[in-house]
Amino acid sequence: MTVKLGRGQAGGHITLFFTISDETKKIEEQGSLGAGLCLKDGVEVIARGEEGSYNLKINYLNGDGDDELYIEVINLLLNDIPEIKNYRWELNIKLSLPLSQGFGMSGAGALAAASSIQRALGISHEESRRRSYLIAHSVERIRSTGLGDITALSAGGVERRIIAGSPYNGITLESGPGKAEGWFHEIPIILAWKSDTGRHTSNYIDNVEWKRMINFSGKAEMYVIGNGEWNNTRWPDLINSAEKFVTNSKLIMDSKRNDLLSECSQIIEECGLEEDIIPLLCMLGQSIAIVPKNIHLIKKSEDKISDRLRKNGFQTIITSLSPNS
């Protein structure tokens, strides 16, 4: 009996500021402008296909996931790869970060799952890579779980999205219409969050008033970030724009984000590290990304800060940037 095995892995993504571009009915043209950080940790999927009548079994190796996300991935893949129906599939999914906290885990899950199944079937690397990005972007938009995470992940590192839309599209999987640029530097990142579940992304991107405030603030920061060369000299600009966006969009005042940020800032001050590191809010979760202010002068303080945060009721993980795609 024929058995197929494939592995897919995708890091999460933190959006620091963004716009909402969903006016068109064409999914491949929907998305966002903005900037953020592509993470090393995210989702790993091992796909096992055994020849026989089609079936799908989903296992989560740690924590709970969203079955409907992976069912949607399979349904879209079937349009291009009907051979999938010839197998009984088992997806074993490992989640390295929590869901619904602004870490782009729905996009990472869709991307990893689409990749694992295609690799199991022996589809060429470049074809499966491009299709995985298109499928994942489509799943995000169909389910209103994200806007630009997939386009961001296609660039990697510290990314800016300069054209909204999927990074690949069409039957021939041509590039665009979405476009993002990324640069990479060894940057440690502390992610911190409270145990309460964050609000679903659709609560914001499908709400008229939130869309208005987000777009107004996001476009202002894209005017700054979107111009000029995109490299590690722009790190201070990114931090400045991230802080201005959460204030001007009023997202800082929603869902207890201001309390989280204030508490985290106080802990950093108590540790005497306010000159070295800075907490930034992750959009659209109830979470914080703590990063160095100067990426060329990084002090090893991750363990110290993480310990203090956990003593104050936070959950934390120390991660880093993913390399450019």
Can you read off the two tokens belonging to residue 209?
């008033």
Checking if the pLDDT of 202 tops 80, the result is no
CA distance 3 to 112: 20
Question: pLDDT tens, 31-90?
Answer: 999 999 999 999 999 999 999 999 999 999 988 899 999 999 999 999 999 999 999 999
Token pair recorded at residue 80: 């291009």
Q: How many CB atoms lie within 10 A of CB 11?
A: 27
Tokens of 219: 């476009």
Q: Enumerate domains of the chain plus CATH numbers.
A: 3-182 (3.30.230.10), 188-320 (3.30.70)
Dist CA 13 CA 148 (whole Å): 10
First-to-last C-alpha distance (Å) of the chain:
36
Task: Say whether pLDDT at 196 is over 80.
Answer: no
Exposure class string for 273-296: b at 16+ Cβ within 10 A, else e: beebbbbbbbbbbbbbbbbbeebe
Residue matched to tokens 């160095």: 292
Token reading at 140: 């995000």
What does the alpha-carbon distance between residue 177 and residue 189 come to, in Å, rounded to a whole number?
Answer: 30
Amino acid letter, 284 = L
What is the chain's mean pLDDT, rounded?
94
Q: What is the mean pLDDT of residues 175-188?
A: 96
Tokens of 150: 């997939």
Q: Residue 325: what pLDDT?
A: 67
What pLDDT score was predicted for residue 130?
98
DSSP secondary structure string, 286-298? SEEEEEES-TTS-
Whether residue 184 contacts residue 158, with contact meaning beta carbons closer than 8 Å, is answered with yes
pLDDT at 198 over 60: no
Contact 13, 38 (CB under 8 A): yes
∠ Cα 110 111 117 (to 5°): 90
Range 152-179 average pLDDT: 97
With tokens 């903005």, the residue in question is 34
One DSSP character per residue, 216-285 reads HHHHHHHHHHTSS--SGGGHHHHHHHHHHHHHHTSGGGSTTHHHHHHHHHHHHHHTT-TTTEEEEEPBTS
The DSSP symbol for 194 reads -
What pLDDT score was predicted for residue 236?
Answer: 97
What backbone phi and psi angles, to 5 degrees, belong to 18? -165, 170
Rounded alpha-carbon distances, angstroms, from residue 128 to 77, 123, 137, 168, 178: 10, 6, 14, 11, 18
pLDDT at 304 over 70: yes
Q: Quick one: pLDDT at residue 43? A: 98
pLDDT of res. 318: 97
The confidence band for 226, taking pLDDT boundaries of 50, 70 and 90, is very high
